Chain A
Amino acid sequence: MYARRIEKEGETKTLTFAVSGMLWNRSLVMIDSETNSLWSHLLGRSMAGPSMDTQLKVLPGLMTDWKTWRQRHPDTTVLKLSRTSQGYLKEFYAEPARFVIGMSEGDKARSWSFDVLLQNPFVNDHFADRPILVTFDDQSSTAFVYNRRLAGDTLEFELKDGQLTDRQSGSQWNPATGQCENGPQAGQVLELIPAIVSYRHTWETFYPDSPD
């Protein structure tokens, strides 16, 4: 999920993207109508044309199932087009070792493999100097990356009595919604951080030095 607004040499443009018909490393290459430049789909970076080297901003999109999304956002709107496939159900992740959730910033990249997250579904981690919580919900096969900074504090999470709990206040959190449901932080919501779900082999092709 990308923002379509770019800034290049002090000028702001809103781009319209299309499928170029080209692949790079077997991954989609996008083209924009306004500058006629080519963009790597996974990197979100222009690789050719007048916009070359411009980086699109990744937005905090969440890959999840309809049930989980509706639970998070009962007032959501939904794209309504005909289905071009039937197969993308949560069972798509039946082989979790083939999938990662990844983040990149500048020349840094990190990914977390779904099979490792299945074993250890609450990871207190850091990326690009930001404290993050990487969690995995087995029910919906959803990987979440949350900001652990909340109102100036850095929270550390642990599983306590079967509940995701922060050590600082002992509050209990719902990992699927990011909401605090019990304790001093009740009502607070963890912020989703932009991350991309990808096939492991694709991520490793584009970010060969990305540890996981």
Chain B
Amino acid sequence: MPEESEDIRTGGGKSTKQWALLGVLVLILAGSIWINWDHFQALTTGTPTGQDFGEGREGSHTSYRVPQITPMAAGFHPQVAIPSVFPPIQDAPVVSATSMQDQSSDFQLADNELVLGITIGDQSRAYPINMLTGPQREIINDVLGDVPIAATW
């Protein structure tokens, strides 16, 4: 961005001492990201802070103990990326596409937004991918046409 390059240009007058300090700070930052890489990735791939999670039931289940699960298939070597199980998402709200055609609707999707769609019997549902990211949101437990489904991609 233009602002950033401007900063770099006007930074030309800094003393050697200031540059050395800056270098050390950058190294510390890079080091801590490297050490906590998995956690950092989880954060940067969309863990929202202070965002509305919607009206779906999120936050009721924390009772599993993950590491003691047996038996385990040969060749299966899971690694703990985030040391907690996210609560399952159920009963998330849905709206009809026809209700969205109303210009006054506060909920709209852009034509080019990616969705995962499914049709069961005469019922169809779309799951916008932008709502299915971040570790806590990657699986939606739902029921469509009496069929229990897991929307995930």
Contact = CB atoms under 8 A, between A and B. Distances in A.
B96 interface: yes
B66 A21 contact: yes
A148 B125 CA distance: 24
Interface in A74-114: 74-92
Contacts of B124: 69, 72-73, 75-77
A208 to B, nearest CB: 12
A131 B114 CA distance: 28
Contacts of B131: 79, 81-84
Contacts of A127: none
A200 interface: no
B111 to A, nearest CB: 4
B46 interface: yes
B68 to A, nearest CB: 9
A60 B38 CA distance: 32
Interface stretch (A26-34, A118-126, A152-160, A167-175): A26-34
A70 B64 contact: no
B94 A79 contact: yes
Identify which of A17, A65, A79 gathers the most chain B CB atoms within 10 Å of its CB: A79
Given A33-B88, A62-B116, A28 B138 contact: yes
Nearest to A86: B130
A186 interface: no
Given A33-B64, A83-B130, A4 B112 contact: no
Given A2-B150, A59-B149, A36 B116 contact: no
A38 B61 contact: no
A142 to B, nearest CB: 9
B128 A66 contact: yes
A163 interface: no
Interface stretch (B14-22, B24-32, B52-60): B52-60
Interface string A13-27: 011111111111000
A55 interface: no
Given A5-B148, A61-B117, A81 B93 contact: yes
Contacts of A150: none
B85 A23 contact: no
A71 B52 CA distance: 30
A82 B52 contact: yes
A88 B88 contact: no
A32 to B, nearest CB: 9
Contact of A73 (B84, B117, B140): B117
B121 interface: no
Interface of B: 38, 45-46, 48, 51-54, 56, 61, 64, 66, 69-73, 76-90, 92-98, 100, 107, 109-120, 123-142, 147-153
9 contacts: A24-B78, A24-B79, A62-B118, A73-B124, A77-B96, A78-B94, A82-B131, A84-B133, A85-B45
